[in-house]
Chains A and B, each alone.
Chain A
Amino acid sequence: MNRRTLAKAALYFILSVGAISMLAPFVWMALTSIKQPGEVFAAGGGIKWLPEHFFWRDTIVDCAKYRAWWGNYPDAWNEINIPRLYMSSIFVAAVGTFGQVLTSAMAAYAFARLRFPGRDKLFFAYLATMMVPGSVTMIPLFVILRKMHWINSYSGLIVPGLFSAYGTFMLRQFFMGLPAELEDAAKIDGSGYMGIWMRVILPLSKPALATLTTFTFMGFWGSYMWPLVITVTEPLRTLPIGLRYFVGQHATNYTQLMAGSMIAVVPVLLLFIFNQRYFVEGIKLSGMGGK
């Protein structure tokens, strides 16, 4: 075995360990979602991974038990009105993601390509907003939104998240790497800034846009504190708030929480699968690998 093969084997080993450690919590979540409440934690030590009545451990599949394992899903579904929470989450995440990618792409184009006085200073000032923790701006933002009568509304849930210094920075880095000649050609053909942005820049930036879309969607989808603060009635709540109902002060309903979490991760997984082709490329090209 030559050195190259050994190095490759070592690399694969390290990557496999990384992959397994990333996947392990997901696997535990999936398995816990089909356990009965008493089976979550092992008596006598060791990590309890498998449900006690798992089908391939029993010689006969017991239908009554089978119903009990999957019972966490309908129970969670009914307990916290998952359909409504799901619709709210999808709406907030879809509109928020579209809006944030749109504003970020526009701002990034302006910062990357347009020449105007104070452009770089403005960009750095915008970037500096990333250094201010969200908890610091939460009260002023809440007060502003109250004055706008946006408390407990979808506007209040979505609009504050429509602008992102991170998204702008990421897309700006990508746009700056695009050949200027393409833009020049479009200008010669009579395109204005808007035309260039729509017909040249955006089609060439699919990987970066897909990456930002995935990150932004995940951000909106998993957001907890802001929806908790801004919403005060049940119909506006999103899935992470709904899942909070399974976590009490003294006890947590792990089986239903995990069943609810399994249901909640589906859209993010789907988005990742659809965007995977562009996503990896986008991470590579926009230099965000170390995010």
Chain B
Amino acid sequence: MDNTGLTRIFTTIGVIFGVTATVALGIFLTSTTSPTPKGKASIRWCVDPNPIRKEQIKLFESRHPDISVINDPGAEPQRLLTQLAGDVPPDVMALYDPQTIRLFAKNGVLLDLTPYVSKYNIAVDKLYPALEPYVYHEGRIVGIPENCGPFVVFYNKKLFREAGVPYPKPGWTWEECLDCARKLTKYKYENSRRIPSQKGLFINNTDWWLLIWMHNGRLFSEDGKRCLMDSPQVKKGIRFWADLRLKHKVMPTASEAQSMAPTGAWGSDALLFRASMVAMTLSGRWMSIQYREQKDLDWDVVSAPHGPNRVTLLASKAYAIPKASPNRAEALTFIGHLLQRDNQLLVSNYGDGIPANSDSTITKAFAYNPDYPNEKNNQLHLDEMKYARVQEFSPYINNLDVSAIMAVELDKMWLQQQSPDAACDVIAKRINAIIRRNLANPNFLD
């Protein structure tokens, strides 16, 4: 037999094998797609994946053997909207900001949890009052935050020791923080060029809220119909923020952050902090997950510095149940369980945000975790809740529009193409123009 004949035989055998294998695989896969044992209800929990989710599910299922939970990874808005529009909603879904919660609630997507609070033992009365924007819409309970994080300063103790700077104490001021940051900023020379080798402080570009609040500034008026970015109070806060980077040079500029970054181009606060290139960062407790991982990193937390007002930023996420959820009772049981002691401690001990349930039996247990004896300051996160405030939004403009305008105009400020005051004026003008347009538009869907 010649080569062509052999090739033909082998090709035929290959094709038959491929088709048979694919058909067999298809039969096997389609016959094993049912994940729920008979007699058990199954709920779909749509939330960002996280190693602790498996433990949470295990805990819940041990308490409620008749309900199984699927962690559906990723609560991306596009995915949620598609599934909600297609009437295939998750049973419990994570919503990450108060504006989205309001938008979903206003459009009738979310189940009003108010009538179910006592029946399903949902400890809403134990939630911190500062979390209200994540919980209520027009007096109805629509979301349940599981954990939260008031912004605090994470500081690198080793860098403080090396610079001979005493560790900061809770209740410190921005002046004291600036003084520390100056002492912790270092430079080196490369080819006779002076470049930063360490910066004192890093505040993310989106976390400026506390700087305007400390001067009694607000981004929006109470009714949300006017942007107040051009007010003297806000300008004062933004000027202070800009000075940290441009005048005092204690915060890395975007290009400095990039050039200092340990992995090429990811100059995020966490990476620079982990690489000991930034001595202090402002963030929430969830950063502990990353910082714990690095055994040689000696860190602690202290309250966010204060100005005339003592205030800090608060971040959380809320779990909501779509009205169309096919497993309402099970979803309510699950939501109630999320605020129970064991689950609250499981999540917070993992290093994520602090428990949203302020019950003293939970907070006492959270304050000291024997598995992480170096983390002695958990109580500080709890104490900071007194000063914590959720970021503002206006019902008359999409946060994405606000962020886009902010990013463009603040970039010009960082590039020194416009002063902080001018940036505030332009931002207010542009945001107010959109608010006016939306208010005048009868079809505006807020």
Contact = CB atoms under 8 A, between A and B. Distances in A.
B79 interface: yes
A248 B50 contact: yes
B282 to A, nearest CB: 15
B38 interface: no
Interface residues of A, number: 46
Interface stretch (A37-45, A63-71, A159-167): A37-45
A235 interface: yes
B30 A154 contact: yes
Interface stretch (B66-74, B122-130, B361-369): B66-74
A135 B79 CA distance: 10
A186 interface: no
Interface in A221-279: 225, 228-229, 232-236, 241, 244-251, 253
A193 interface: no
A138 B260 CA distance: 41
A90 interface: yes
A234 B295 CA distance: 35
B263 interface: yes
A232 B71 CA distance: 10
A151 B25 contact: no
B25 A90 contact: yes
A41 B274 contact: yes
Contact of A91 (B26, B81, B264, B274): B26
B73 A47 contact: no
Interface residues of B, number: 51
A10 interface: no
Interface in B269-293: 271, 274-277, 286-287, 289-290, 293
Q: Which of B44, B72, B260 has the most CB of A within 10 A?
A: B72
B48 interface: yes
B50 A233 contact: no
Contacts of A46: 262
B29 A245 contact: no
B82 interface: yes
B88 A151 contact: yes
Given A233-B70, A244-B74, A45 B275 contact: yes
A241 B73 CA distance: 8
Contacts of A234: 35, 70
Contact of B296 (A43, A94, A143, A251): A43
A251 B289 contact: yes
B140 to A, nearest CB: 26
A146 B85 CA distance: 10
A42 B289 contact: no
B33 A38 contact: no
Contact of A228 (B48, B79, B289): B79
Interface in B30-77: 30, 32-35, 44, 48-51, 70, 72-74, 76
Nearest to A145: B86
Contacts of B73: 228, 241, 244-245
B275 A225 contact: no
B76 A228 contact: yes
A95 B22 contact: yes
A98 B262 CA distance: 44
A98 B15 CA distance: 12
B87 interface: yes
A77 interface: no
A284 interface: no
B263 A41 contact: yes
Nearest 4 CB-CB pairings of A with B: A250-B286, A248-B50, A142-B86, A249-B48
12 contacts: A45-B262, A47-B264, A87-B28, A88-B29, A91-B22, A98-B22, A142-B88, A228-B73, A228-B76, A232-B88, A233-B33, A236-B33
